């Protein structure tokens, strides 16, 4: 493994200081500026969409959403394009477990937008099967999408970033489920898939730093999204809230601060980090 030298000849030099002539309000804006273009997998979902919108709010020039749901994605893209008319926003239907499709999609995105500078991996699935009854297919599906799919996206993006010579930021969506066992639902395959992402993040952060690529993750707690809706999990929702110091689940926009930090100018010395955003639930 080769590490970066960290000097001015490397791709990980210290950031240039903001000139004192810049007014405080402008300095604050520059501190959390998101530059270039991004790919967001699962961008049509609640969390991915909120994160993509936040990046656009902080200066992102171009956005490509990877998702398997064209109908939902088209509605979300139309909404974003109206709010951010100067940004170039697109969609590709991609199964992230298909490495060839991912590589092709990343290449086409780079050609269309000009570069790839930020990647957010939000595509994922949840499985709540008891370990003793789980089938091989159920186990493999969760690991293939959540872990292997995230690696395929990161790998293809890293190759592009390396070719650009500009570095970039890759953010995995891990989970508090990767840190400890959930209750009351059984979801061993999901927990393993997210714990694996934490280790994957560490290894890639070390290997790819010399290319100027930072690899980090966020670990959300239970969020109030479509995955956690329905009368069938009402009891579980009540337990999650009762066991949380904050007393509730997260709203999707409450995860965007961590995403912006890791993707922006403010996060240039953050590499291999995991940010837990769970209202304090993980303390128990």
The residues carrying an active-site annotation are 175, 190, 194
The answer, yes or no, to whether the previous bond of 184 is cis (omega within 30 of 0) is yes
Distance CA 229, CA 120 (A): 24
CA dihedral 66, 72, 74, 75 (to 10 degrees): -140
Distance CA 273, CA 276 (A): 10
Contact residues for 57 (Cβ-Cβ < 8 A; gap 6+): none
Q: What Å distances lie between residue 3 and 103, 204, 205, 206, 270, CA to CA?
A: 26, 12, 10, 7, 15
* DSSP classification of residue 167: -
CB 93 within 8 A of CB 67: yes
Distance CA 43, CA 72 (A): 10
Residue 243, token pair as written in the block:
């066991």
**Which residue blocks in the chain are alpha helix, DSSP H?**
24-31, 46-57, 70-83, 99-113, 136-143, 149-164, 188-208, 234-242, 256-263
Give 72-103 as a 3 state SS string. Answer: HHHHHHHHHHHHCCCCEEEEEECCCCCHHHHH
């Amino acid at each position: 493994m080769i590490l970066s030298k960290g000097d001015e000849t490397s791709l990980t030099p210290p950031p240039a200081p903001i000139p004192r002539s810049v007014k405080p309000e402008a300095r604050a804006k520059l501190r959390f500026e998101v530059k270039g273009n991004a790919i967001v997998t699962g961008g049509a979902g609640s969390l991915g969409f909120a994160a993509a919108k936040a990046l656009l709010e902080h200066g992102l020039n171009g956005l490509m959403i990877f998702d398997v749901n064209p109908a939902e994605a088209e509605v979300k893209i139309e909404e974003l394009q109206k709010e951010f008319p100067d940004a170039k926003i697109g969609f590709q239907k991609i199964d992230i477990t298909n490495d060839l499709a991912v590589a092709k999609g990343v290449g086409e995105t780079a050609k269309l937008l000009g570069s790839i500078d930020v990647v957010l991996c939000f595509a994922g699935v949840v499985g709540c099967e008891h370990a003793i009854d789980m089938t091989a297919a159920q186990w493999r599906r969760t690991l293939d999408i959540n872990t292997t799919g995230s690696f395929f996206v990161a790998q293809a993006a890293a190759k592009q970033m390396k070719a650009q010579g500009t570095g970039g930021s890759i953010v995995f969506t891990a989970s508090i489920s990767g840190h400890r066992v959930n209750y009351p639902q059984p979801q061993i395959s999901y927990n393993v898939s997210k714990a694996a992402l934490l280790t994957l993040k560490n290894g890639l952060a070390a290997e790819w730093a010399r290319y100027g690529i930072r690899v980090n993750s966020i670990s959300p707690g239970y969020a109030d999204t479509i995955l956690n809706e329905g009368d069938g999990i009402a009891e579980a929702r009540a337990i999650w809230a009762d066991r949380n110091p904050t007393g509730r689940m997260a709203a999707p926009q409450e995860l965007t601060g961590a995403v912006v930090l890791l993707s922006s100018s403010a996060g240039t010395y953050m590499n291999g980090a995991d940010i837990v955003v769970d209202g304090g639930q993980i303390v128990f």
